Amino acid sequence: MNTTPSGAPRRATITDVAREAGTGKTSISRYLNGEMSVMSPELRSRIEAAIARLDYQPNQMARGLKRGRNRLIGMLLADLTNPYTVEVLQGVEAACHALGLMPLICHAANEVEMERRYLQLLTTYRVEGVIVNALGVGEETLRPVGGGGIPAVLVDRSVDGLVADMVGLDNRAAAELGTRHLLDNGFDEIWFVVQPFAQISSRHLRETAFREAMQAHGDAARGHTLVLDLADAEAVERSLAELDRTIDALAEPAGSNPAGQRGRPGVTAATGGAAAAGSGRVALFAANAPVALCLALHLKARYGAYWQARVALLSIDDPDWAELTGVTTIRQPTYDIGYRAVEFLHERIEGVQTTARDCLLAGELIVRASTSR
């Protein structure tokens, strides 16, 4: 018997089936492609039987080679560790399923080098399109994609100099929503904490919108931006130390800070997670879940299990631990983002030629104990 290196019997090919059914390859191919209209029921059932007997399964690679399209699309993910990514993926998968596409999932794990490698790999496998949740290091590495290359759609962030459809959160609105919520609940000092945002459009937009919202409220002085470079442990250390100083200062009943205290400073831990609303304490606005997690872990380490009594936390993204810890969040319509991205891509693959589109979806504020009275 014909065997492969691993000892398994060779898979049947279309030729085998043709021989088994006593006919030509063409008919088999026709059968496979559902061109049943012109085919004697007799032949048809012979083919059916032969296929069953040989357990034949057409080779997609060969198909793709011949047809010039293989129904494969690439899905390049910056960081699977971020729950956002997994959720978007669910939408992507559902849409792919519906459209008969097969996503090749590539996980760059925050490594720029990986991103390049995978992108190259994807083009080498001749995927028909790519959905990119880029690391955002610039368009050099994305060159082969978009514009003149493979159809592409960006998720969450756009990339400078890369014209392509993009779908993601309405960052302006989301940041405003969060800021206003914090302001409405009487927090005096608000820190927007975000990873380095020069390169990443979504972070940039969120930060800008935050500052503008503070300004619009006539409270620009009480809004601060803290950059937290999660990739650099030392930098994180420094940033958190800066944050600690502010928190400690505000907590001093001595009122050494200009904002002053108008809350109930003696609130005990036992009052619960409903923290500090209207008491003039500080609120942290995390630009995304990884930042929020980092902050929460730090605060817990520094202020103990009941850190939420001292500082409020609001985060864009809604990881599962948010409900558990009572952290307020702005949930992104992640599933829809993924689904939409595939729809866009599919249109492009089918040859749609419109100018690059943006699809901005609204976030939903989920108020929890951390920021509400």
Partner DNA sequence: TTGTAAGCGTTATCAT
Partner DNA sequence: ATGATAACGCTTACAA
Residues in touch with a second copy (CB under 8 A): 4-9, 11, 57-62, 64-65, 68, 70, 80-81, 86, 89-90, 93, 102, 104-105, 107, 109, 120-121, 123-126, 148-151, 268-270, 272-273, 293, 296-297, 300, 304-306, 319-321, 323-326, 348-351, 353, 369
Q: How far is the CB of 8 from DNA (least distance, A)?
A: 13
| Binder of residue 40, out of a second copy, DNA, none (CB less than 5 to 8 A by kind) | DNA
Cβ atoms of 83 and 90 closer than 8 Å: no
196: alpha, beta or left, given left = phi > 0 and alpha = psi -120 to 50?
beta
> Coil, strand, or helix at residue 36?
coil
Identify the bridge partners of residue 102 per DSSP, sorted by sequence position: 72
- Rounded CA-CA distance 205/173 in Å is 10
Task: Tell me whether residue 107 or residue 222 sits nearer to a second copy (CB atom).
Answer: 107
Q: How far is the CB of 93 from DNA (least distance, A)?
A: 24
User: Which one-letter DSSP state was computed for residue 314?
Assistant: E
Task: Tell me whether residue 30 or residue 368 sits nearer to DNA (CB atom).
Answer: 30
Q: How far is the CB of 122 from DNA (least distance, A)?
A: 15
Task: Tell me whether residue 39 or residue 297 sits nearer to DNA (CB atom).
Answer: 39
Q: Which residues contact 150 (CB under 8 A, 6 or more apart)?
A: 74, 122, 123, 127, 128, 129, 130, 144
| Binder of residue 30, out of DNA, a second copy, none (CB less than 5 to 8 A by kind) | DNA
- Check binding of 43 to DNA (CB under 7 A): yes
- Check binding of 45 to DNA (CB under 7 A): no
- Check binding of 32 to DNA (CB under 7 A): yes
| Helices H / strands E in the chain, number of each | 12, 12
Nearest to 165 by CA among 291, 45, 294, 344: 344
Q: Which residues contact 23 (CB under 8 A, 6 or more apart)?
A: 43, 46, 47
Q: Single out the residue of 10, 53, 238, 245 in contact with DNA (rule: CB under 7 A).
A: 10
Helices 171-184 and 201-216, axial angle in degrees (round to 10): 40
Task: Tell me whether residue 129 or residue 136 sits nearer to a second copy (CB atom).
Answer: 129
| Binder of residue 67, out of DNA, a second copy, none (CB less than 5 to 8 A by kind) | DNA
The mark string for 51-70 relative to DNA (x by CB under 7 A, - otherwise) is -----xxxx--xx-xxxx--
Q: Which residues contact 50 (CB under 8 A, 6 or more apart)?
A: 17, 20, 21, 56
Q: How far is the CB of 134 from a second copy (least distance, A)?
A: 18
- Check binding of 334 to DNA (CB under 7 A): no
Which burial class, exposed, middle or buried, applies to 281 when counting CB atoms under 10 A from its CB (0-12, 13-18, 19+)?
buried
- Residue ranges binding DNA (CB under 7 A): 10, 13-15, 22-30, 32-33, 38-40, 42-44, 56-59, 62-63, 65-68
